Structure 1
């Protein structure tokens, strides 16, 4: 009975949110299930009700974050009928918005340096990048030189967006702080695709 009460009180979502902050502050290797639970004011047994080990907890974090991003991207593409270039512009702007409105999520998803941890996000990251690349390729395919850029251009555009997001995360800029700059950045990138 006590275990059930603790499980109801300490939700999976609360554990994930707290763990996200801790992973960013201290790094994956510095944390244990015990230290995560302690920072939340619980015994480590309360965490094991939801997650069997730290790696499972980390993978759940990454999976949830990518699912949220992918759902936002797909929803945005379903709702907009702006033509290929208009959809790409909206998609890039929404990607920047996601990164800056969710900097802790973004850091774990795209900025983690540990090769062992990067493997937890490979599949989900590839799915998001492939959706982005598909939209870029639909724009590029209409260009006369599109064949040459079909595979390199999506990566270059992503890196430009990633640089914008990571720079602003580094200097604690919110989306609202740089919204106009984000609009200009995306506009310049799209103008470059038309030339």
Structure 2
């Protein structure tokens, strides 16, 4: 009965959100299950109903965030072409919007330097990039681009968007705060296509 009460009060989502914030602001190594529990006002034992260890909790955060980003990419992929925006432009804009409006998540996903944490992120980064690159390649025609360009252009676009996000994320600005700069950047990048 006590376990059910804890599960109802302390949801998996609350734990993930608190842990995400603590990992970004204080660093993965500085945070323990005990400190996450204290931050939430619960004993660390109550966290173990949801997660066996800190590494499992971190992996759940990473998976959730990459799943969300891939979902956004698939939404763009499945949209029909329309209006003034190409699919590639919409893809780049969605990537920037996600990064700027989810700064803590983006930092964990793409900006961590901790080798142990990178092991959790590398496969998900690759999965995300593969989807991103496939959408870019679908818009490229083999007659207009060399085989090498079919490989290098998606990577160059990805890295350029990542650099843009990394630059602005330091100031904690949201997408709406710099939308004109986003649009100008994306339009400039897409001239290569």
Query: Tell me, what secondary structure is at the counterpart of 1:121?
Result: helix
Partner of 2:179: 179
Distance in 2, Cα, partners of 1:94 & 1:144? 26
Instruction: Give how far 1:145 is off.
Output: 3.7
Partner of 1:76: 76
Instruction: Give how far 1:138 is off.
Output: 2.5
Residue 140 of structure 1 contacts residue 146 of structure 1 at CA under 8 Å; is this kept in 2?
no
Return 5+ residue gaps in structure 2 as ranges: none
Partner of 1:157: 157
The CA deviation string for residues 76-130 of structure 1, in whole angstroms up to 9 with x for no partner, is 22123249x8111110111101111111111111111111101112222211100
Instruction: Give how far 1:143 is off.
Output: 4.6
TM-score by structure 2 length? 0.94
Partner of 1:65: 65
Partner of 2:4: 4
Structure 1 residue 188 corresponds to structure 2 residue 176: no
Partner of 1:49: 49
- Aligned pairs, how many? 192
The CA deviation string for residues 55-91 of structure 1, in whole angstroms up to 9 with x for no partner, is 00000000000001111111222123249x8111110
Query: Tell me, what secondary structure is at the counterpart of 1:16?
Result: helix
Instruction: Give how far 1:136 is off.
Output: 1.9
- CA RMSD in angstroms comes to 1.5
TM-score by structure 1 length? 0.93
Residue 87 of structure 2 contacts residue 139 of structure 2 at CA under 8 Å; is this kept in 1?
no
Structure 1 residue 16 corresponds to structure 2 residue 25: no
Partner of 2:90: 90
Distance in 2, Cα, partners of 1:179 & 1:143? 33
Return 5+ residue gaps in structure 1 as ranges: none
Residue 51 of structure 1 contacts residue 57 of structure 1 at CA under 8 Å; is this kept in 2?
yes
